[in-house]
Amino acid sequence: MALVAAGTALAQAPARAAEQPRGHDVSSHQKTVDWQRAKAAGAGFVYVKATESTSYRNPYFAAQYEGAGAVGLLRGAYHFALPDKGSGKAQAAHFVGNGGGWSADGRTLPPALDIEYNPYGGSNKCYGLTKAQTVAWIRAFSDEVHRLIGRRPVIYTTTHWWNLCTGGSSAFAADHALWIARYGSADAGVLPAGWSAWTFWQYADSGSLPGDQNLFNGSADGLQRFAKGD
């Protein structure tokens, strides 16, 4: 998921993982996941990649998402943003139409927007957009998701990318949960402008759970309340 500019993944979860719900995120790279085994290894939640740009759909999404739910994991969907391949509104519509929904059932996490380094553009980390255009793109995506499902997306990013490509915008912190990626560290580090706390922290790209390794910043009851939208 994250193309982290620096740092190496921790082989083990940070010490505080014993106190907070552990989870992971998967995509087509993980293909068929043994969900019972993931739950037995300590997974409490998972995010599943649903879409990318305006055309790609994860061919394993339905099986991954439904399989996670069948064993009792809280699960949500995420969209990998390519702001140079379509408007924020168009990508949001594609996402919501292909798995990026939400309901206040206590089992469904709000959808997430994965916006980070351009994996296809070499040194063009910001997709050729200005800082103002990037902020406007994220706002258009969020507004369309909110219009369609009634909830704002979680924003997944790194502090470095956010500062570089949005100019350190604080426009989203008040009403968007933060999913921060930072590897090779005992803590989540300095957060993007405006956020005083993270909701999810992706601390490694491999570990005891399939895919990337994550923590929720709270209790198991807090995670369920977050899922419900309380």
Cβ burial, residue 223 (10 Å; 0-12/13-18/19+): buried
DSSP for the chain, please give it. Answer: ----SS----SS--GGGGTS-EEEEE-TTT-S--HHHHHHTTEEEEEEEEEETTTEE-TTHHHHHHHHHHTT-EEEEEEE--TTSS-HHHHHHHHHTTT----SSSSBPPPEEE--S-SSSTT-TTTT--HHHHHHHHHHHHHHHHHHHSSPPEEEE-HHHHHHHHSS--SSTTTS-EEEE--SSSS--SPPTT-SS-SEEEEESSSSSSSEEEEESS-HHHHHHHHHT-
Q: Is position 52 annotated as part of the catalytic site? A: no
Catalytic residue (one of 34, 84, 114, 116)? 116
Q: Is position 25 annotated as part of the catalytic site? A: yes
Cα distance between residue 26 and residue 44, in whole Å: 14
Catalytic residues: 25, 116
